């Protein structure tokens, strides 16, 4: 009796059909992620308009009360306005995340004087949080990087806002810019809660928040650092954190300095 050797054994057929099944599952999962992202995008857009209108009304109320001398209502409206700011911020994060998923977040690259951006973020945080002791050191000169100024300021603001949020008792924060090996580096250091070593590699992931009571009771979606890391990736830069529990954290990013064409 002669046998024909086809080169396929029963195990190969099983493996082949399992691979096809897995490929099908991956396709279905991708489709589900797409539907979720679309939902996120539509929901965030729908909520954005009424919240923006509410924010405008709260500003009008504040002005009206100030004009009429009705100071007793001002703190309540200010609190309302502060909460609305948080919602506006969360909606912006959700929209950015949806844009990253659909690869439609664009960075408009220009020459950026990052010292100027760091200074402006510093002035803003000092005005918004007078109870914090915020200092700033700038590298000499005005090194230029190639980037999207607004997006880079978004990263600096995010680092600063996190430093404030996660340092409820020790309110000393430092912002520093320096040039190291032709890289412009921005670092925001706080003396707050710190992050356990084993959790540090996860904090740039989408929706990740450290599972600690001190973090969970604070507002947040776990999207800010994910967005920062995506922005820095788009700039071909590096981003990272050094942190110790109970001592504080230093968040940093670095980008190549553009060569000075006048030299």
Catalog residues that contact ligand ADP under the rule CB under 6 A: 162-163, 166, 190, 192-193, 195, 203, 208-210, 215, 220-226, 249
Least distance in Å: CB of 192 to ligand ADP? 5
Nearest to ligand ADP of 144, 232 (CB atom): 232
Nearest to ligand ADP of 61, 223 (CB atom): 223
- Tell the burial category of 111 from Cβ atoms under 10 Å away from its Cβ (0-12, 13-18, 19+): exposed
Nearest to ligand ADP of 146, 200 (CB atom): 200
Least distance in Å: CB of 46 to ligand ADP? 22
> What's phi and psi for 248, nearest 5 deg?
135, -175
Contact indicator for 167, 134 with CB cutoff of 8 Å: no
> What's phi and psi for 112, nearest 5 deg?
-120, 130
Least distance in Å: CB of 101 to ligand ADP? 16
CB within 8 Å of 187: residues ≥ 6 apart:
174, 175, 176, 177, 178, 250, 251, 252
Nearest to ligand ADP of 47, 221 (CB atom): 221
CB within 8 Å of 103: residues ≥ 6 apart:
none
Tokens of 119: 């200074």
Least distance in Å: CB of 196 to ligand ADP? 10
Least distance in Å: CB of 32 to ligand ADP? 24
Nearest to ligand ADP of 222, 256 (CB atom): 222
With CB atoms as reference, the residue minimizing the distance to ligand ADP is 220
């Amino acid at each position: 009796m002669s046998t024909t050797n086809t080169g396929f054994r029963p195990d190969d057929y099983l493996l082949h059909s399992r691979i096809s099944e897995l490929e099908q599952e991956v396709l279905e999962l991708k489709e589900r992620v797409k539907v979720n992202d679309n939902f996120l995008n539509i929901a965030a857009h729908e909520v954005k308009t009424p919240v923006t209108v509410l924010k405008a009304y709260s500003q009008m109320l504040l002005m009206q009360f100030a004009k009429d001398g009705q100071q007793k209502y001002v703190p309540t409206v200010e609190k309302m306005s502060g909460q609305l700011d948080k919602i506006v911020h969360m909606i912006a994060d959700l929209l950015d995340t949806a844009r990253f998923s659909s690869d439609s977040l664009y960075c408009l690259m220009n020459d950026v004087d990052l010292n100027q951006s760091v200074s402006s973020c510093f002035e803003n945080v000092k005005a918004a949080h007078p109870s914090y002791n915020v200092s700033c050191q700038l590298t000499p000169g005005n090194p230029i990087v190639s980037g999207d100024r607004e997006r880079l300021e978004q990263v600096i603001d995010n680092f600063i806002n996190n430093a404030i949020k996660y340092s409820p008792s020790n309110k000393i924060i430092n912002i520093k810019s320096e040039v190291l090996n032709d890289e412009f580096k921005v670092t925001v250091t706080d003396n707050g809660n710190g992050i356990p070593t084993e959790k540090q590699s996860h904090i740039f992931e989408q929706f990740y928040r450290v599972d600690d009571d001190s973090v969970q009771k604070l507002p947040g979606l776990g999207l800010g650092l994910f967005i920062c890391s995506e922005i820095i990736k788009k700039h071909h830069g590096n981003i990272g954190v050094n942190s110790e529990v109970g001592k504080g954290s230093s968040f940093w990013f670095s980008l190549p300095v553009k060569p000075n064409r006048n030299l």
